[in-house]
Amino acid sequence: MSRKLHLPIPARKALKKLGKDIRDARLRRRIGTELMAERAGFSRITLNKIEQGDSGVSVGGYVSALFVLGMLDRLKDIADARHDLIGLMLEEERLPKRIRAPKAEK
Amino acid sequence: MSRKLHLPIPARKALKKLGKDIRDARLRRRIGTELMAERAGFSRITLNKIEQGDSGVSVGGYVSALFVLGMLDRLKDIADARHDLIGLMLEEERLPKRIRAPKAEK
DNA sequence: CTGTAATGATAAGAATAATAAACATTAGCG
DNA sequence: CGCTAATGTTTATTATTCTTATCATTACAG
């Protein structure tokens, strides 16, 4: 986001929790911020932002942190179709490749 | 990441899958790229990058997209302690607030 | 309790992400 | 099957992140 993205409250909360969980996981493993940042390939400051749930940090940073902690697995299923209840209800046929607006009523 | 972060293969794969899943979820809901981008608060181009699993996009973009799709729930548990098997094995006592290197042997 | 190393915070500069505009491509309605 | 609107791409510009360096704070070992 170049222009600061105004994130809805629940989204911001989810990020905060994620950051805190990442921090706790690091502490459980007794890894210092310096070492952790080095392994993940970014600076201590960026790690700090991640652990605070900063929404501006690139997704690569978060993913890299999760990778270092060995917690990448669950990420893959976040938006997996199997868990998309809303989507399953809507799906009636094969997915289109484009969304076309229905012809306006005369 | 200002300096392009070199992401390990599994991490990159996870992001690619996430992007694809987000795209499929959008299609299932019959939401066009323009409308989706507008609701999420960013441009069509950024949505495109997200759906391709671009690691440079800010995490806020991804989270906002998940929010629009109503798929925020699972995000919160990605790194939750309850699922941190490695961490649970390591945890023996109360978590420290800082990680201190053990005194070097003389 | 005390000293010290780990963490948090701040500022300035380099690198990159995000946007808008315009054009090329292509899916799918009719 | 053809037309049109939806999507993909490129370029130039702007805004913001990420980094390095430095200083302040504080938790922990001894």
Q: Could you tell me the pLDDT band of residue B90, with boundaries at 50, 70 and 90?
A: confident
Check whether residue A59 has its CB closer than 7 Å to nucleic acid strand D: no
**pLDDT (tens digit per residue) in A40-76:** 999 999 999 999 999 999 999 999 999 999 999 999 9
pLDDT value of residue B105: 42
Residue % of chain A over a pLDDT of 70: 92
Cβ atoms of B58 and B18 closer than 8 Å: no
CA distances (Å), origin A58, targets A54, A87, B58, B61, B63: 9, 27, 4, 9, 11
The pLDDT score that the predictor gives to residue A23 is 95
Model confidence at A85, pLDDT cuts 50, 70, 90, reads: confident
Q: What is the DSSP string of A27-94?
A: HHTT--HHHHHHHHTS-HHHHHHHHTT-TTSBHHHHHHHHHHTT--HHHHTTT-GGG-HHHHHH--SP
Which residues, numbered 63 to 102 in chain A, qualify as contacts with chain B under a Cβ-Cβ cut-off of 8 Å?
A: 63-64, 66-67, 69-72, 74-81, 83-84, 86-87, 90-91, 95-99, 101
Listed by start position, the domains of chain A span 9-89
For domain A9-89, the CATH architecture is: Orthogonal Bundle (1.10)
Alpha helix segments (H runs only) across chain B: 9-28, 33-40, 44-51, 59-69, 85-90
**pLDDT digit string (tens) for A67-77?**
999 999 999 99
Specify the CATH superfamily of domain B9-88: lambda repressor-like DNA-binding domains (1.10.260.40)
Give whole-number Cα distances, B85 to A30, B20, B45, in Å.
Answer: 15, 28, 38
Residue A3 has pLDDT above 50, yes or no: yes
Tokens of A88: 């399953």
Residue with the bigger pLDDT between A96 and A103: it is A96
Q: Which residue of A has its CA nearest to B63?
A: A11
